[in-house]
Chain A
Amino acid sequence: MEQIHKSKIFTFTLTIFTFFIASMSSALAQTATAPESSGDSTGLFLVGMIATVLAVFLFIMFIMSDKIIKMATQASNPNSNTFGEGTGFSLFPSKKELVTVENESENLSSRYVKLKKGVNIDLAGEADLVFDSQTIIVSDTHAIKPTDFHGMSSIPKVMVEVGTEVKAGENIMFDKKRPDVFYSAPVSGEVVEIRRGEKRAIHEVVILADKEVKYKQFETANFADLDRDKMVELLLSSGCWPFLVQRPFGVVAEPTDSPKAIFISTFSSAPLAPNYNFTLKGEDRNFQAGLDALNKLTDGKVHLGLDSTAENDNTFTDAQGVQINYFKGKHPVGNVGVQIHHIDPINKDEIVWTINPEDVATIGRLMLEGIYKPIRNVALTGSVVNEPKYFRTLLGANLKNIVDGNCESDEDLRYISGNALNGTQVLPDGYLGFFDNQITVMNEGNKYEMLGWILPSYPRPSTSPTFLTHLLPGIHGKIEANANTHGEKRALVVTGQFEEVLPMDIYPNHLIKAIIVNDFDGMEGLGIYEVIEEDIAVCEFVDTSKNDLTGILRTGLDAIREQG
């Protein structure tokens, strides 16, 4: 049944209802003319006429609204590929949708996956494809935040003291539970602060950056000849290792494991996410070197996920030694978890590693130049940003140098390191997260709204047709979202809405309930190994009951991980 497009069913229902009304009216007409009819025939005839008119009116209304919706879509996205191809924006299915053929690519080792579920959240404040400056802007301070890594002990061992001078690539801390994985300084300079939070937990190790970054030199001249162990050692000592994230659980990879595959998604479909085709342009040599290094780590394949609707840069299309897969669909299609699910799903006791494309380039730079230079091409986005654009900096940069004087609003602002669906709230002088290359700034939205659940109000993102924004996309232009929950927390009442937006063969509602009741068999069976927070973030977004689904999922993942 999943194969049948929703609008097809809808049209079918409509037809049934129309036929139903039509058949009733014809029955009426018969009764009216029959001699033994008991009621007065004029009344019957009248009702029959009304019913027919009603049916015709409904039909015309649907055709009209269909046209209007299509026109509105066209108007708002004149030349967009991801939008307005008829999918979901017409009440009636197009011929294409009725006869969906999975396009099998000629190249057998490549896959084409078309996903129908999902939701693109079209927010205002997308970054223009320009860099503030082509050279790397080093912030005044950079920091490594232990809180960015799931499962790390709250007080990791910091190997430097306040006042120590470090070079970029020198190790500064490690997790006591896993002493072989080192975390390195992204810039050179003086360690100025080790910021602690509750129970002495370490929150930030702050480095006052040199103007001219000094790099620690690693011996990588013959990296192509390194065997796996040597390669692992190099990545560990340079501080590149934590870029590798292990699925399930979304934790830093274990050097002793051998993953069945490594997945890289070269596009993000999250709201306002940076465009790697733009930011990694010209990085093809580094990227390829990084891929070569990764190929040594796994016996399986390295998979590269590309957006089939975008004009992909040759950095990705010309990549060698990898399987290139094309994806088409709505968010979360760009999430690497969704791509794994459709290419090579994770089963119990299987391990897959994932890594961001920028970090592949960083590994490549280590291989080619022998230095740890974690470049972050940060997209500054959000509706309150004056000039949303890209900034080239290094990992863990302070936000202040980027956002200062660039955001304007008369309301409280929220600064997010990451995107609106998977980000960490930081202070305006806080630091970019380890894996983040986006800053989203939006209004806090901490205001009351009179009868906000029914009265028309300012536009907000929604998948519900009860809002005009959904019925006529583009009527308000791009939407300026804020961080208001638009409602209170409730029990999970509405069903089916998560399945509608998660393009995976998973029942998120039941998975979440299994986690809540600590049903380990249920969690495993229903696919907890295949998701981390970023994948079900879109479910939390649409959740009518405003539950903290990502938080619940993390509890479940932690519980299963502890069980071991």
Chain B
Amino acid sequence: MKFIHNILDKVEPIAKKSKFTYTLYDALHTLLFQPNFTTKGKVHIKDGMDLKRTMIHVVLALQLCYILGTYNIGHQHYIAVGLFDGHLFEGFLQKFWYGLGQLAPIFLVVHIVGLGIEILFAARKGHAVEEGFLVSGALLPLIMPPDIPLWMVGLATAFAVLIAKEAFGGTGMNILNVALTARVFIFFAFPNSIIGDSCWVAYDYNFIHNLFGLEDAARDMIASNGHNLDILWASIKNAPPDWIENPLLGRGWSGAPTIVTSNLLASGALDAWTGATPLGVASYGYENPATEIMASGGMEAVRAAGYSNSEMIWGFIPGSIGEMSKVGILFGAVLLLVTKIASWRIMLSGLLGLIATALVYNLIGGSNYMAVSWYEHLMMGSFLFAIVFMATDPVTASGTNTGKWIYGFFIGVVGMLIRVANIAYPEGWMLAILIMNVFAPLIDHYVLQGNIKRRLARVG
């Protein structure tokens, strides 16, 4: 410890030469060594808890999502090309390395861009680098589709950190959730990359994959099955864009023009695979011209597309990287609740909001999608991830306990409205949370007004 500290002391004069390097040095120094600051005012003792410890516990809570998400990227990839589709642990290492090769660059880009901007701003303003990005940076890769182009991730991160955070004054001042702002940026700016079916599975091999020889291995294996990887990809990628985007044509490869489907089916790659998320088929229905299985939506379509409950709970379904595994999310939720870092009020009221809205939909009926029960809603899509990790961000949520109940409940309600009633996009938590982020100060305002009125009422 002494040794490392001595090195840091030697580096200090060099780092002091520019503001940027000094801020970087300071950030590293406080990360390695909790400072020797002592109290100055009338309060002489301070709680052991600090922001670093708070934030790092959220990051810890995300770890199971990271592990399961990484594996799922590989799992979905190999199922897409028709390899290792026997059982879950077939080709364990390949799946894991593929997932890691896909996730690591996204993670790196997010942190290089995000932390870079943070340090730049901290240096300009002359304060220490605050820990907010620790969590934003950990959340961001998990809410991205695995196939997202890296430049898009970088751009979205830069946009979110600059516009959603630094423009409002940095950590603790932002109105919108930073990670969700990045995602919503991609959602509106590059919808092709985040809407539809093709984005939820990673296809390409990058240089990290090639480092492990994954592409060559896959090529060989596919060739031994009598197919060609390039033709397989070509038939997927050359699919006309309107087929990917137009909901009326149906979702999944099932909605693809016959020529594509038949090519793929002929290649033997598409046995039990659609590429569509369970939520997608629940919303738009499922139709497989080859097997002539048809379902107009709801759980019936989910089952027809071949998704079992266990796959949905463990998260081995197509979707955003970290949002799919309900087990991973519940692990994080328990950790956050036991450590009292996240607000149980928001989680509980959000859950109640979802259940209430789902029950109303069930009463109305009308379509198969509306008949989906609340616990089935929990298994599909990213509600749990959103309510556990996104909605509980203390900066953008309501600051009062009463406000948290209202805030959480309406996230549940608004999210369900968007999820079920909106035909263009079958998922709503990102938008619901951002909407409620905007309303959170208003909710707080009325809660505080209540407090002020109580105080005035005492005078009579």
Binding site for B on A (CB under 8 A): 1-2, 9-10, 12-13, 16-17, 20-21, 23-24, 27-28, 31, 36-39, 43-44, 46-48, 51, 58, 121, 123, 271, 345, 347-348, 414, 416, 418, 420-425, 440, 442, 444-454, 460-467, 469, 481-488, 490-496, 499, 505-507, 509-510, 525-527, 533, 537, 540-546, 548-551
With contact pairs A9-B344, A505-B454, A533-B42 given, residues A493 and B32 touching in the complex (Cβ less than 8 Å)? no
- Inter-chain CA distance A496–B340, complex, in Å, is 11
Give chain A residues whose Cβ lies under 8 Å from the Cβ of B128. Answer: 488
The residue in B39, B348, B401 that gathers the most chain A C-beta atoms within 10 A of its C-beta is B39
The answer to whether A545 and B455 touch (CB under 8 A), given A121-B45, A496-B401, is no
State in angstroms the CA–CA spacing of A462 and B45 once bound together: 10
Smallest CB gap from B306: residue in A: A38
Known: A31-B309, A48-B310, A548-B40. A465 touches B340 (CB 8 A): yes
Q: What are 28 A-B contacts with C-beta separation under 8 Å?
A: A21-B330, A24-B309, A39-B306, A39-B308, A48-B310, A51-B313, A271-B45, A347-B459, A420-B45, A446-B38, A454-B56, A463-B47, A466-B53, A466-B341, A467-B49, A483-B39, A485-B46, A487-B53, A490-B51, A490-B131, A491-B172, A495-B399, A525-B452, A540-B43, A541-B46, A542-B49, A543-B46, A546-B46
Contact A541 B338 (CB under 8 A): no
The reply to whether A493 and B311 contact each other, CB–CB distance below 8 Å, is no
- Give CA–CA (A122, B257) in the complex, Å: 72
Chain A proximity mask over B169-192: 1 for CB below 8 Å, otherwise 0: 011110000000000000000000
Give chain A residues whose Cβ lies under 8 Å from the Cβ of B398.
Answer: 495
Q: Is the beta-carbon distance between A449 and B44 smaller than 8 angstroms?
A: no
Return chain A residues, CB-CB under 8 Å to B47. 460-464, 486, 541-544
Q: A16-B348, A487-B51, A493-B171 are known contacts. Are A444 and B38 too (CB-CB below 8 A)? A: yes
Q: How far is the CB of B125 from chain A (nearest CB, A)?
A: 12
The reply to whether A450 and B455 contact each other, CB–CB distance below 8 Å, is no
Instruction: Please tell me if the beta carbons of B45 and A541 are within 8 angstroms of each other in the complex.
Output: yes
Using CB atoms, name the residue of chain B closest to A424. B42
B16 at the interface (CB under 8 A from A): no
Interface residues of B in 434-460 (CB under 8 A from A): 444, 448, 451-452, 454-456, 458-459
Residues of B within 8 A of A491 (CB): 130, 170-173
With A13-B344, A483-B38: A507-B448 Cβ-Cβ less than 8 Å: yes
Q: How far is the CA of A466 from the CA of B59 in the complex (A)?
A: 14
- B37-67 contact mask (Cβ, 8 Å, vs A): 1 or 0: 1111111111111111110110000000000
Shortest Cβ distance from residue A522 to the other chain B in the assembled complex, whole angstroms:
8
The CB with the most chain B CB atoms within 10 A, among A17, A121, A424, is that of A17
Q: Is the CB of B45 within 8 A of A481?
A: yes
Leading 7 A-B pairs by shortest Cβ distance: A487-B50, A491-B172, A452-B34, A47-B310, A525-B452, A39-B308, A453-B52
B400 at the binding interface (Cβ < 8 Å): yes
Most A Cβ at <10 Å: residue of B37, B375, B395, B458: B37
B238 within 8 A of A: no
Task: Please report the C-alpha to C-alpha distance between residue A483 and residue B333 in the assembled complex, in whole angstroms.
Answer: 33
Residue in contact with A440 in the complex, picked from B44, B304, B337, B444, CB distance below 8 Å: B44
B343 within 8 Å of A by Cβ?
Answer: yes
Interface contact A421-B43, CB-CB below 8 Å: yes
Quick check: is B366 within 8 A (CB to CB) of the other chain? no
Asked if B379 and A24 make an inter-chain contact with CB atoms under 8 angstroms apart, the answer reads yes
Residue B7 CB within 8 A of the other chain: no
Interface contact B172-A1, CB-CB below 8 Å: no
Q: Output the nearest chain A residue to B310 by Cβ-Cβ distance.
A: A47
Q: Which residues of A contact B341 (CB under 8 A)?
A: 466
Q: Contact partner of B310 among A2, A9, A39, A481, CB < 8 A?
A: A39
A490 touches B172 (CB 8 A): yes
Q: For A424, what are the chain B residues with a Cβ–Cβ distance below 8 Å?
A: 42
Q: Would you call A27 and B308 a contact (CB within 8 A)?
A: no
Distance between B62 CB and nearest chain A CB, rounded to angstroms: 15
Report if B167 contacts A (CB, 8 A). no
**Residue B162 CB within 8 A of the other chain:** no
- CB pair B50–A488 under 8 Å, yes or no, is yes
* CB of A449 to closest CB in B, whole Å: 4
A527-B455 contact, Cβ under 8 Å, with A31-B308, A464-B47, A493-B172 = yes
For residue B315, give the distance in angstroms from its CB to the closest CB of chain A. 12
Which chain A residues border B337 with CB–CB below 8 Å? 10, 13
Query: Of all chain A residues, which has the CB nearest B56?
Result: A454
B375 CB contacts on chain A under 8 angstroms: 20, 23-24, 27
A422 adjacent to B401 (CB under 8 Å)? no
B405 to chain A, nearest CB (A): 7
For the complex with contacts A454-B52, A490-B131, A507-B451, 18 further pairs of A-B residues with Cβ separation under 8 Å are: A20-B375, A24-B379, A37-B308, A46-B310, A347-B458, A414-B44, A422-B42, A423-B44, A440-B44, A448-B34, A481-B45, A485-B39, A490-B50, A493-B54, A493-B171, A510-B400, A510-B444, A548-B41
Which of A1, A21, A448, A485 is B33 in contact with, Cβ under 8 Å?
A: A448
Establish whether residues A465 and B338, one from each chain, have CB atoms under 8 Å apart when the complex forms: yes
Complex Cα spacing A1 to B52, Å: 31
Residue numbers in B under 8 Å from A549 (CB-CB): 43
* Chain A residues near B131 (CB-CB < 8 A): 490
Checking B309, B343, B400 against A27 with a beta-carbon cut-off of 8 angstroms, the contacting residue is B309
Chain A contacts for B379, CB-based, 8 A: 24
Of residues 138 through 173 on chain B, the ones whose CB sits less than 8 Å from some CB of chain A are 170-173
Candidates A46, A123, A463, A550; contact of B43 at CB < 8 Å: A550
B124 within 8 Å of A (CB atoms): no
Instruction: Tell me if B33 and A494 are in contact (CB < 8 A).
Output: no
Judge whether B363 is part of the interface by a CB distance below 8 angstroms: no
Best-buried of A27, A48, A424 by chain B (most CB within 10 Å): A27
Q: Does B17 contact A (CB under 8 A)?
A: no
Q: Is B224 an interface residue (CB 8 A)?
A: no
A543, chain B: closest CB distance, angstroms: 7
In the complex, how many angstroms separate the beta carbon of A323 from the nearest chain B beta carbon?
18
Could you tell me if A425 and B44 are in contact, using CB atoms closer than 8 angstroms? yes
Q: How far is the CB of A487 from chain B (nearest CB, A)?
A: 2
Given A445-B38, A450-B33, A492-B172, is A525 in contact with B306 using a C-beta cutoff of 8 Å?
Answer: no
In whole angstroms, how far apart are the Cα atoms of A467 and B54 in the complex?
11
Report the separation of the CA atoms of residues A416 and B451 in the bound assembly, to the nearest whole angstrom: 36
Residues of chain A within 8 A (CB-CB) of B333 are 17
Q: Are B172 and A442 in contact (CB under 8 A)?
A: no
What residue of chain B has the Cβ atom nearest to residue A447's Cβ?
B36
For B360-380 the 0/1 string (1 means CB < 8 A from A) is 000000000000000100110
Q: Is the CB of B56 within 8 A of A453?
A: yes
Residue B351, interface by CB 8 Å: yes
B132 is an interface residue with CB less than 8 A from chain A:
yes
Q: Is the CB of B348 within 8 A of A9?
A: yes
Chain A residues near B399: list those with CB within 8 A: 495-496, 507, 509-510
Q: Does B259 contact A (CB under 8 A)?
A: no
**Chain A's nearest CB lies how many Å from the CB of B304?**
8
Q: Is B44 touching A461 in the complex (CB atoms < 8 A)?
A: no
Judged by a CB distance under 8 angstroms, whether B303 is at the interface is: yes
Smallest CB–CB gap between A236 and chain B, Å?
28
Query: How many whole Å from B110's CB to the nearest CB in chain A?
Result: 20
